[in-house]
Structure 1
Amino acid sequence: MSASDNIYGQDLNQVAANYEPLSPLTFIERAASIYPDKTAVVYGEVRRSWGETYRRSRLLASALVRRGVRAGDTVSIMSPNLPEHFEAHFGVPMSGAVLNSINTRLDASSVAFILEHAESNVLITDREMSSVVSKALAQMKTRPIVIDIDDPSFEGGELLGEMTYEQFLAEGDSDFDWKGPDDEWNAISLNYTSGTTGDPKGVVYHHRGAYLNAVSNALSWGMPNRAVYLWTLPMFHCNGWCFPWTVAAVSGVSVCVRHVRAVHLMELIKQEKVDHLCGAPIVLSMLVGVPAELKEGLNHTVKVMTAGAPPPASVIQGMEEMGFDVTHVYGLTETYGPCVVCAWNDDWDDKSMQERSRLKARQGVRVPMQEGLMVGDPVTLKPVPRDGETIGEIFMRGNVVMKGYLKNPKTTRASFQGGWFHSGDLAVCHPDGYIEIKDRSKDIIISGGENISSIEVEETLFRHPSIQDVAVVAMSDEKWGEVPCAFISLIPDAQMTEEEVVRYCRENMAHFKVPKKIVFKDLPRTSTGKVQKFILRQWAKEES
């Protein structure tokens, strides 16, 4: 029976008075109308109010339209976490265009590929990126309009474009009458996956998903009105997990930083009274390692959201001991960032610090705005038992799953097969319903027919007091097929031999899981903190 066949479908229509497509753009208009003089953005000497930030976003939108940008066009940006990057999250979609924020760590060929694949009309770029961007532009058949962010606090680089960002804003109208999307399914942003196995894929977000995930972030974290958020997470990464829009939703403060350096971060946390930040486990490790005297004066609670790689329980414990409240989340580019959160259960309050840290290291349960989460059999799509042991693939569905991959219908269909998004991550489901990642499907080590979770081995190694960083990958072996190979970085001034590591492992895990090769080396990580295991696999191949 359709809605029109019952009394609730008669003369109760969707009209302008009772329906408007969801879009996170409404958040900045609300913040500016309620708190026009309250601080919205902090960056060095720059301090801008919500009224000024909204005005500048409208100038950007107007200038883009006057330059011929139309609905559905792509505007790319390659920039650190600067105020201009924050403004672009509003100004670009206000023009009707789609925002494409590019990873600042990419090489020129990858940047050129993204700009051409996205059919970018405009590129906003910071001087620090000029070396890579200039090479990328030289590889392109059609050059977009290039606008330079000319940050006076940064020395180096060169201007590549027709004008600076400030000159471009001067072309706009601060009273620009922007319109939200006619359809909340319209694209708002385009994010590219890492591309470690071929060209990166373009993940398309819609206004509805961006709106809902922004709200979901605030609900998951209990973010209060006027929260102060430190930008330790790259804005290019899943649009900063949608936090530009979340900060606007709570009328908060964005504390921007060009570079993530532990001492400077600690200074900003104390100076600006930062109460929320996101970061990969490596960022947490950096903060834990700050000298004790620099932590003095930190007398307020700071909530930390971490993901990117399963954080070692020891790192979570170190943050908790400093007074930071850690929340573990999990997600992918395809799910707008966090779609799973390790929601705290009050029943755990009386547990030991070590046990609480172990519980927090799990990925958790679905976020408030996620409709479906399952650990299931990848063939039958049936849930695995909630026994904490049976491994299955993580599947999601709902409004915070991407529209699909740009210009890639085959891969889109495959990823949505059976009515679920296939993550490719392997996990178990515990009796309480919380999921825990065991590995990427490609990272499971099959040794003599036995499955070995690289994450489980890494967790054990991380607990050793002399080990600062570790990653485990498969290494080929004539007898066993594959064996674990561990890459380890020690804390400053610590010393360990390969034999000592093996002895420690044998005392703390099943013998067949013990790494057969130990390599002491700094780990290659992406700008979002993920270990580049494809590089480690190549290194392991050279070691075998």
Structure 2
Amino acid sequence: MPSIFDTDLPRTEANFAPLTPLAFIQRAAEVYPERLAVVHGTLRQSWDHTYRRCRRLASALQQAGVGKNDTVAVMLPNTPPMVEAHFGVPMAGAVLNALNTRLDPEAVAFMLDHGEAKVVIVDPEFAPVMKKALALRQSKAPLLVIDVEDALFGPGQPIGSTTYEAFLDRGDPDFEWLYPTDEWDAIALNYTSGTTGNPKGVVYHHRGAATNAISNILEWDMPKHAVYLWTLPMFHCNGWCFPWTVAARAGVNVCLRRVEAKAIFDAIREHGVTHYCGAPIVHGLLVNAPDELKAGVPRGVKCMVAGAAPPAAMIEGMEQMGFDLTHVYGLTEVYGPATVCAKQAGWDGLPIGERAALNARQGVRYHLQRDARVLDPQTMQPVPLDGEAMGEIMFRGNIAMKGYLKNPKATAEAFAGGWFHSGDLAVQYPDGYIKIKDRSKDIIISGGENISSIEVEDVLYRHPAVLAAAVVAKPDPKWGETPCAFIELKAGAQVSEADIVAHCKQHLAGFKVPRAVVFGELPKTSTGKIQKFELRKQAGSAAAIDV
């Protein structure tokens, strides 16, 4: 029998609309048309003007034959066209594929073909790579190439048939774009950083993009008209959904072509930056910058870190600058951050070491994520909340991808049992907070004992000379595997292998102490994450392949 609450109460356009982050820029432009939206060099662009440019882009794309579920790829730094693409492309009904700007031509060619891109928008800095990628494409389908011009970069070599500004001139600033017919419609395509075989294409939907953008606001208590500095690449999980978050707050996008300490501190002072995000390497760059670069930087800047747990030295350094650090965790498949180490009032009075240990946890689910917990991957049951029992971090809810493009097997495996399987091994504490112990492929098995590489890395970061550290398995004829530490030292620091080993012995059981120490600059991704697969190759590990 139908319920009285299901009878004669239809869902209509009057009482239901699909969730989409495109609504955020529409409201910002209507309510705060003259408020500053974009800063780039000498450019100052209002929300009304930005909205009109996005509508021009959508209109021009549709005139060029781009429609629903067509892919528009972009290879852009954090510049105004990248902000506009996050709205203009889906306003045309299309799907935005933001390409990693540090990829090689072969990888770019694969993504253009696999995603079936119909248009690609290219910054002059990346035109040489894109030109090679276009020559390597296997697909014979036509591809419209649009060149962006940027005075902050200087003249480049055009490779397209039109410029970005000329293309926008074809569009209608009053273009009547349509909401998605279904919030499950795709809004973006992001490729994982696969290093063997081909990367997987992660498909985002409008509902997930909107809910994660709102969750960002809630986790940070992000105020109206916040000033956000683009230190995080917008190609990385669509900038953790922050292009849409900033629009929801009618904030300011302070663009940044390159992540450099001087440029960041200058932008903070000049524009009154209130928020920024980044991998640990970005925050470490600021902490270890010369004091003269920090002069006059206001206190109270809020920063978000993900990619690795913040070590005590970083937390202490950020506090000395007066910056407020929030630790989040997630993956491409969950739109970037999907858990947060929500701070508790009682932590403030604790010693720095204890606070660092608490803040190093990956925390609890984002507001609009239904669930995040540690489950036994065999039984799919929760592990005991004792901080000891290890399982796999799993997610379910709104902030999870549609799946992997053209890869039903990988999608089914990722969502087995009704949860998204992260591949991260972790424990959960009595207060519900999650802490990663390792990636499943990063556990070192020495003489039958499991060694968490993260545990060893945490100890290495406590050494005052260490800027960055990574630990991988090294083959050993007796033990099978032993820990091998790769260390990048702070500028001017001098330390020996024996010093590092002695430091580790003070904090670790003997079998966990690195048997080899290698000094040098660590290989990193474009988002600042350390590339352990490269280090495993150097160490000769059987687990050198990263998938």
Which range, TM-score by smaller chain? over 0.9
Offset at residue 358 of structure 1 (A): 2.2
Residue of 116, 119, 137 corresponding to 2:116: 119
Which residue is 2:28 aligned to? 31
Paired AA for residue 47 in structure 1: R
Contact 1:317 1:354 (C-alpha < 8 Å) held by counterparts = no
Tell me which moved more, 455-464 or 496-505. 496-505
Partner Cα separation in structure 2 for residue 499 and residue 156 of structure 1: 51
Query: Which amino acid counterpart does residue 293 of structure 2 have in structure 1?
Result: L
Write out per-residue CA displacement over residues 30-71 of structure 1, whole angstroms, 9 at most, x where no aligned residue.
000011111000011111000000000000000000000011
1:145 deviates by 0.2
SS in 2 for 1:22: coil
Q: Give the letter for the 1:36 counterpart.
A: P
SS state of the match for residue 410, structure 1?
A: helix
SS in 2 for 1:442: coil
Aligned with residue 97 of structure 2, among 97, 100, 103: 100
1:444 maps to what in 2?
443
CA root-mean-square deviation:
1.3
Asked whether 1:240 is paired with 2:239, we answer yes
- 1:158-307 matched pairs, under 5 angstroms: 158-307=157-306
SS at match of 2:430: coil
Structure 1 partner of 2:354: 355
Quote the sequence identity (%): 60
Note the residue ranges of structure 2 that are not aligned, 5 or more in a row. Answer: none
SS in 2 for 1:504: helix
State the Cα distance separating 1:156 from its structure 2 match: 5.1
- Please list the CA deviations of residues 106-144 of structure 1 after superposition, one character each: whole Å capped at 9, or x if unmatched: 000000000000000000010000111000000113351
Aligned to 1:408: 407
Distance in structure 2 (CA, Å) of the matches to 1:355 and 1:527 = 31
Aligned residues: 541
Q: Which runs of 5+ in 1 are unaligned?
A: none
Contact 1:340 1:363 in 2 (8 A): yes
Amino acid at match of 2:416: Q
Report the 3-state secondary structure (helix = DSSP H, G, I; strand = E; otherwise coil) of the residue aligned with 2:506: helix
Distance, in Å, in 1 between the alignment partners of 2:229 and 2:152 is 19
Q: Which moved more, 1:139-148 or 1:386-395?
A: 139-148
Relative to the length of structure 1, the TM-score reads 0.98
Q: Any idea what SS the aligned residue of 1:402 has?
A: coil
User: How far, CA to CA, are the matches of 2:254 and 2:14 in structure 1?
Assistant: 37
Q: CA deviation at 1:197?
A: 2.8
**Residue identity opposite 2:147 in structure 1:** D
Deviations 1:175-210 (A, max 9, x none): 101001001100000000001232000000000110
Conservation of the 8 A alpha-carbon contact between 2:122 and 2:145? yes
Q: Please tell me whether residue 383 in structure 1 is matched to residue 382 in structure 2.
A: yes
Q: Which 4+ runs in 1 deviate beyond 3 A?
A: none
Structure 2 letter corresponding to 1:424:
G
The TM-score, its normalising length taken from structure 2, stands at 0.97
After TM superposition, the structure 1 = structure 2 runs for residues 122-133 of structure 1, keeping only pairs within 5 Å, are 122-133=119-130
**Helix, strand or coil at the partner of 1:475:** strand
Q: Indicate which of 48, 52, 57 corresponds to 1:51.
A: 48
SS of equivalent residue, structure 1 residue 233: coil
Distance (whole Å) between structure 1 residues aligned to residue 124 and residue 60 of structure 2: 21
Q: Matches of 1:156 and 1:170 in 2, distance apart?
A: 21
Secondary structure at the aligned position of 2:303 is classed as strand
8 Å CA contact 1:131–1:157 kept in 2: the answer is no
Q: Residue in 2 aligned with 1:480?
A: 479
Q: Distance in 1 between matches of 2:195 and 2:368?
A: 30
Q: Which residue of 2 aligns with 1:71?
A: 68
Range 295-304 or range 527-536, more displaced: 295-304
Asked if structure 2 preserves the Cα contact closer than 8 Å seen for 1:208 and 1:399, the reply is yes
Query: More displaced, 467-476 or 134-143?
Result: 134-143
| 2:136 alignment counterpart | 139
Residue pair 1:230, 1:256 contacting (<8 A) in 2 also: yes
Cross-structure match for 1:42? 39
CA drift of 1:542 comes to 8.5
